[in-house]
Amino acid sequence: MNVKARSSKAEARTQAQRERILCAAQQCFIEFGFHAAGMAKIAETAGMSPGLIYRYFENKSAIIQAIVERQLEYLREDISLNRKIDLTEEMIAGYGRAGGDDSRRLNASLLLELSAEATRDPQIAAAVLNFDEGLRHALHDWLMRSKDEGGHALPPALVPPRALILQLLFEGLRVRETRQPNLDRQLLSAALHEVIPRLLEP
C-alpha cells in the first residue's frame, strides 16, 4: 500500500471515529442535556474509552461546536440541491420528526440546549452565530437562484427580509415541537400554506 493510500485510509478512519463520537454525543445531549452528559457517558454510548475521545476532541465544548458545524453543513447541502421542493409540505412533514436516529435533522430539544448554552459559553455562542449566518447565507442563495436551478429568482432587495422570516419560522417550529408535538396537522398546514408561498414569490 503506497503512502497516499495509507493516508486516505487513516483519514477515513479518523472521520468515521469523529462521526461515531458526534452521534453518541448528540444522543446523550438530547437525552440528558449538556451538563448531565459528561465525557464518560458519551464514551459509554459511543462504545469507546474516554481517552480515545480526547484524541479527537479537546473537551465537551469542542464536541458541541462540531455538532453545530455538522448541522450547518447538512443544511447547506440540502439547500444547495438544484431541485424544486415544496417547502411548505417539507416543513409540515418534518414537524415532530426532528432528531431520533436521523443525525441530519436538528432535534428540537438539542436546539434549545444549544441556545441556552450559547448564553454561557462564548465559544458555543460563536459557533451558533456562525450557524445562523451560514444558514441565512444559504437561504439568500436559494431565494436568488433561478427557478431552473431550483431557486425562486427573488429580486435582491427582497431576499434579506424573506430569508430572515424563513429562518425565524424554522426555529419557531422547532421550539413549538418541544411544547406541542401533537399540534393539529391540518391547522399547521393551513397556517404554512397561508404564509410560505407569499415569501417565495416576488
pLDDT in tens, 161-194: 999 999 999 889 988 988 898 999 999 999 999 9
Q: Give tens-digit pLDDT for 86-137.
A: 889 988 988 876 544 455 667 788 888 888 888 998 988 998 898 899 889 9
What are the backbone dihedrals phi and psi of residue 48, each rounded to the nearest 5 degrees, phi first?
-145, 170
**Predicted pLDDT at 30:** 87
**Predicted pLDDT at 4:** 63
**Predicted pLDDT at 82:** 57
Cβ(51)–Cβ(39) below 8 Å: no
Average pLDDT over residues 66-81: 78
Cell of 61: 465544548
Cβ(54)–Cβ(40) below 8 Å: no
Distance of CA 157 to the CA centre of its chain: 27
pTM for the full predicted model: 0.79
CA distance 173 to 189: 12
Average pLDDT over residues 154-163: 96
The 8-class DSSP code of residue 1 comes to -
**Predicted pLDDT at 90:** 87
- In three-state secondary structure terms, 201 is coil
Task: Delineate the domains of the chain, giving CATH numbers in brackets.
Answer: 1-57 (1.10.10.60), 61-199 (1.10.357.10)
Cβ(199)–Cβ(136) below 8 Å: no
Instruction: Read off the amino acid at residue 79.
Output: I
Contacts of 198 (CB under 8 A, 6+ apart): none
- Whether the predicted pLDDT of 55 surpasses 70: yes
